Amino acid sequence: MWEAVGHFFTSLFSPENPLWLYCPLCAVVAVVYKATKFDEPKQIALAALHFFISVTLGVLVLGFILYAVSKVL
């Protein structure tokens, strides 16, 4: 189990994997989306941070589930 988790994160941050480019993309989506909902800069920043963390955690969990399924099948 822990070996699979380690391999998952190693492959995620390997130099040939461009998945790190997901981070700026998600950050821009979070700020633009929340800026359409809120007016105050502080509210926008907090809501965008919450959105970014939620989506990133969700994508990581989904990615790990798909990775585990691909290893089992």
Partner 1 sequence: MSPQGTQYRSPVMALVLGWVIPGAGHAYAGRWGKAVLFAVLIIGLLVAGFALGGGTNIQPNEWWFGAQLGAGGPLLALTPISQYLMVHGEPDYADPVREMGTLYTAIAGLLNLLVMMDAYVKLAYPSIEGPGKGRDASRAIPERAREGA
Distance separating alpha carbons of residues 30 and 33, to the nearest angstrom: 5
**Counting beta carbons within 10 angstroms of the beta carbon of residue 30, is it exposed (0 to 12), middle (13 to 18) or buried (19 or more)?**
buried
By beta-carbon proximity to partner 1, the closer residue of 3 and 10 is 10
- Window 30 to 69, contacts with partner 1 (CB under 8 A): 31-33, 35-41, 43
Contact between 12 and partner 1 by CB under 8 A: the answer reads no
Distance separating alpha carbons of residues 6 and 71, to the nearest angstrom: 14
- Window 16 to 35, contacts with partner 1 (CB under 8 A): 17-18, 21-22, 24-25, 28-29, 31-33, 35
- Shortest Cβ distance from residue 56 to partner 1 (Å)? 16
